[in-house]
């Protein structure tokens, strides 16, 4: 379906257009041409400088964007030379696996996905665009494999085990048969789950439990809806800010992204979280000071409240998008009623301004709180009196409750989101919400843990927001309890 394929990739390519039009790239190329370089050399040299700079950045997502810069520059140089790149994927047989050092969005644009079942790349991470495209196309991608990739030769038979993260080269017939059987079982399970695509999950006592999805961008909203999500429970807006290499996205840019997401959702809820930067996520153009304890530092709503202009641009964009769908606003890392009230005041101020300017928005837009600090849990009753809903961020709530850094691999054996303390925190949050007649959901990774689904439902959870690929598993689990 060519149209679907083009739509699926449009976000990646609009990012590429932005790179091609980037003033830094343009100025650098123009200066080099004025200094006497040929246009092609000037593009090559500017590209090396800019992508080299990006590779030095701490943030993994931004580092990945260096690949995009190189990709765009290669295309510009080809255009300057007037040479069309030959399509290296023209002669692939069926069930092909593409193995490459790196794959760019332009490479993938040349692929016939009816013949490709997987990618293996030496470089890249799960946030790279090739992964986004792989997800959209439902092909398996194993990226960042490293130098081991040299062990694979053209023509080898490969098995990609995405569950274990293993690549098997030239497997014996018994292994191949074992994997083909597993693949059939997984496919049968996938088809079984598809029956739950149009169902609503309801508990034995007739209480509906919404199964929402978490997304990082507007493109993924489409994936989530196709995957059967009842709505979007967490749109992580910071990815929009990370996509912009040198400055904050302005109100209009944000409005367009949120409006597109709202239109895709129609009547479904679209809960957009305001900027959650800081901790492990940095914006290079923000020049935030280095901190001893970034996770206890200047992050999330604390940044928004101390940078009113930045916050207002986002709130205005969200309000304007609310005229096009069922948008709700959610604030991350709230620790007190006072913080929530301050955030709400900004919403009210922006509403008044938009009203004066005659710009449409939903005056009854709901505002909710991400419950991810013990302080918010312990004051859930106070917060619920004023917030419209709660969404529990178990990733952060676990680290703050257990005093364990969620990023530190050495602590993996101690980071236990099943800890009774975390589960009690969840119960307290739900109870606090219900006493005030509000709803509570979970949008942290724990929400997708199907060994706990029954327990969450018994606790009275109203919504679970999970990765799009987990929507049907979670919904089937709830339906099977009935």
Q: Which residues bind Mg ion (CB under 5 A)?
A: 372, 393, 396
Question: Which distant-in-sequence residues (6+ apart) come within 8 Å of 386 by Cβ?
Answer: 337, 340, 341, 344
* 230 versus 396: smaller Cβ distance to Mg ion: 396
Chain Cα centroid distance, residue 6: 20
Q: What is the DSSP code (8-state) at residue 247?
A: S
Nearer Cβ to ligand PEP (234/257): 234
Query: Nearest to residue 479, comparing CAs of 455, 443, 453?
Result: 453
Q: How far apart are CA 281 and CA 399, in angstroms?
A: 16
Whether the Cβ atoms of residue 321 and residue 262 lie closer than 8 Å to each other:
yes
CA distance 420 to 84: 61
Q: In terms of CB distance, is 97 or 330 closer to ligand PEP?
A: 330
Please, are residues 66 and 55 in contact by the beta-carbon 8 Å criterion?
A: yes
- Per the CB < 8 A criterion, the answer to whether 152 and 146 are in contact is no
Chain center to CA of 263: 18
CA distance 330 to 367: 6
Nearer to ligand PEP, 72 or 371 (CB): 371
**Binding-site member from 124, 393, 417, 441 for ligand PEP (CB under 6 A):** 393
Binding mask 332-371 for ligand PEP (x = CB under 6 A): ----------------------------------------
User: Is 443 in the active site?
Assistant: yes
In terms of CB distance, is 10 or 395 closer to ligand PEP? 395
Residue 285's closest CA among 15, 21, 62, 49?
62
The closest alpha carbon to 453, from 265, 243, 209, belongs to 209
- Return the number of the residue (277 or 472) whose C-beta is nearest Mg ion: 277
Minimum gap (Å) between residue 300 Cβ and ligand PEP: 8
Count of residues in contact with ligand PEP, rule CB under 6 A: 10
Q: Is residue 394 close enough to count as binding ligand PEP by CB under 6 A?
A: yes
Nearest distance, CB of residue 110 and ligand PEP, angstroms: 34
Closest CA to 327 of 412, 400, 266: 266
Task: Sketch the per residue contact string, 368 through 387, with ligand PEP: x for CB under 6 A, - otherwise.
Answer: ----x---------------
Nearest residue to the partner Mg ion, using Cβ: 396
* Of the candidates 229, 243, 304, the residue with the CA atom closest to the CA atom of residue 271: 229
For the question of residue 265 being annotated catalytic, the response is no
Residue 443 binding partner per list ligand PEP, Mg ion, none, with a CB distance cut-off of 5 to 8 Å that depends on partner kind: ligand PEP
In the structure encoding, which two tokens stand for residue 102, read together? 């790196």
Catalytic residue among 47, 129, 131, 265: 129
User: For ligand PEP, which stretch binds (CB under 6 A), given 76-84, 164-172, 301-309, 388-396?
Assistant: 388-396
State the nearest-atom distance from the C-beta of 355 to ligand PEP, in Å. Answer: 32
In whole angstroms, what is the distance from residue 85 CA to residue 82 CA? 10
Alpha-carbon radius of gyration of the chain: 24
* Tokens read off for 474: 């979670």
Question: Residue 140 has which token pair?
Answer: 């398996």
Q: With respect to Mg ion, which residue has the nearer C-beta, 315 or 371? A: 371
- Decide if residue 219 touches ligand PEP (CB under 6 A): no
**Candidate list 219, 276, 462, 463; residue touching ligand PEP; CB under 6 A:** 276
Of the candidates 386, 396, 385, the residue with the CA atom closest to the CA atom of residue 344: 386
Choose one: 154-162, 204-212, 289-297, 392-400; the region binding ligand PEP (CB under 6 A).
392-400
**Is 67 a binder of ligand PEP (CB under 6 A)?**
no
Write the DSSP symbol of residue 245. S
236 binds, among ligand PEP, Mg ion, none (CB under 5 to 8 A by kind): ligand PEP
Helices 2-20, 218-226: axis angle to 10 degrees equals 160
- CB nearer ligand PEP, residue 74 or residue 395: 395
At which residue do the structure tokens 């994997």 appear?
A: 179
**Least distance in angstroms from the C-beta of 436 to Mg ion:** 23
Give every CB contact of residue 324 below 8 A, 6+ residues apart in sequence.
259, 262, 263
Contact string (CB under 6 A) for ligand PEP, positions 230-259, x = contact:
----x-x-----------------------
Q: Which residues pair with 119 in a beta bridge?
A: 98, 141
Which one of the spans 287-295, 390-398, 430-438, 472-480 is the region binding ligand PEP (CB under 6 A)?
A: 390-398
Window 416-445: residues binding ligand PEP (CB under 6 A): 443-444
Q: Which residues are catalytic?
A: 129, 443
List contacts with ligand PEP (CB under 6 A): 234, 236, 276, 372, 393-396, 443-444
């Amino acid at each position: 379906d060519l149209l679907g394929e083009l739509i699926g990739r449009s976000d990646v390519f609009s990012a590429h257009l932005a790179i091609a039009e980037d003033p830094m790239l343009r100025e650098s190329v123009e200066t080099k041409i004025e200094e006497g370089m040929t246009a092609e050399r000037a593009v090559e040299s500017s590209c090396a400088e800019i992508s080299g700079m990006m590779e030095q950045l701490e943030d993994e997502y931004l580092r990945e964007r260096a690949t995009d810069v190189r990709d765009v520059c290669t295309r510009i140089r080809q255009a300057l030379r007037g040479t069309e790149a030959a399509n290296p994927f023209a002669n692939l047989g069926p069930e092909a696996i593409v193995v490459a050092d790196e794959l760019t969005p332009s490479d993938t644009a040349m692929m016939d996905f009816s013949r490709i079942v997987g990618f293996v790349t030496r470089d890249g991470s799960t946030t790279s665009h090739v992964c986004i495209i792989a997800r959209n196309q439902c092909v398996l991608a194993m990226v960042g494999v490293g130098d081991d990739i040299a062990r694979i030769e053209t023509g080898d038979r490969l098995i990609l085990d995405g569950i274990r993260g293993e690549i098997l080269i030239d497997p014996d017939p018994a292994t191949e048969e074992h994997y083909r059987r597993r693949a059939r079982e997984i496919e049968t399970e996938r088809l079984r789950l598809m029956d739950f695509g149009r169902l609503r999950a309801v508990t034995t006592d007739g209480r509906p439990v919404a199964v929402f999805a978490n997304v990082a961008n507007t493109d993924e909203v489409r994936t989530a809806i196709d995957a059967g999500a009842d709505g979007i429970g967490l749109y992580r807006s910071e990815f929009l800010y990370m996509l912009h290499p040198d400055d904050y996205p302005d109100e209009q840019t944000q409005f367009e992204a949120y409006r597109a997401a709202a239109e895709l959702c129609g009547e479904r809820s679209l809960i957009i979280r305001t900027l959650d930067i800081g901790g492990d996520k940095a914006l290079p153009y923000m020049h935030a000071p280095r901190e001893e304890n970034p996770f206890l530092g200047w992050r999330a709503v604390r940044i928004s409240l101390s940078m009113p202009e930045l916050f207002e641009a986002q709130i205005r964009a969200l309000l304007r998008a609310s005229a096009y769908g069922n948008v709700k606003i959610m604030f991350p890392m709230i620790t007190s009623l006072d913080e929530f009230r301050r955030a709400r005041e900004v919403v009210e101020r922006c509403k008044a301004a938009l009203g004066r300017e005659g710009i449409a928005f939903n005056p009854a837009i709901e505002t909710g709180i991400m419950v991810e600090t013990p302080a918010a849990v312990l004051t859930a009753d106070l917060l619920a009196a004023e917030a419209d809903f709660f969404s529990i961020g178990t990733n952060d709530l676990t680290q703050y409750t257990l005093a364990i850094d969620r990023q530190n691999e050495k602590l993996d054996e101690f980071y236990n989101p099943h800890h009774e303390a975390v589960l009690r925190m969840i119960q307290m949050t739900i109870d606090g919400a219900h006493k005030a007649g509000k709803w509570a959901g979970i949008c942290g990774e724990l929400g997708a843990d199907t060994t706990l689904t029954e327990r969450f439902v018994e606790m009275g959870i109203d919504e679970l927001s999970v990765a799009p690929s987990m929507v049907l598993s979670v919904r089937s689990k709830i339906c099977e309890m009935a």
